[in-house]
Homo-oligomer: A and B are copies of this chain.
Amino acid sequence: MNYRAVEPTGEYVARLETGAEWRSEIESLAAEVEADAAWFTGLGAVSDAELWFYDQDGLEYAPVEFDEPLEVASCVGNVALLDGERFAHTHVVCSRPDGEAVAGHLNEATVFAGEIHMRAFEDPLERAHDETTDLDLWL
């Protein structure tokens, strides 16, 4: 079991700016509060989204673009250092007007409205290459 006890250094709520990029906004929040490790959840709406799906055999991400307004029914993720930069690993569940849900790894999306809760932790989380999955993982 790879785990770590974390020491909270701060807790925040944020409203993402309309027209900004969803993941960048979360990374900006982490930068503003100087968090190199954090956990967040959120909700809102976006005017478009690019989700990624990881091919577990081919070991690479494939993008799917949604050029349409979507609710963000769920957003869960964490902030860690990747190659020395803060990276917000972000998964979302979005939905269409009839309620149909689409979900995945969020590469980018344009914020319509967004509400985020973040807990920042003392020690940095650092992503490093994992041989088995070819992903950058922490711990």
Contacts and interface: CB of A to CB of B under 8 A. Distances in A.
A74 B55 CA distance: 18
Interface string A104-125: 1100000011010101010001
Kindly report how many copies of this chain are found in the complex they form together: 3
Chain A interface, DSSP helix/strand/loop, else mixed: strand
Interface in A9-36: 10-15, 17-18, 25, 28-29, 32-33
A57 B32 CA distance: 32
Interface residues on A, range: 35 or more
B53 A97 contact: yes
B18 A3 contact: no
13 contacts: A1-B14, A5-B11, A8-B11, A11-B119, A43-B89, A51-B95, A53-B71, A54-B71, A57-B69, A62-B97, A71-B104, A71-B105, A115-B138
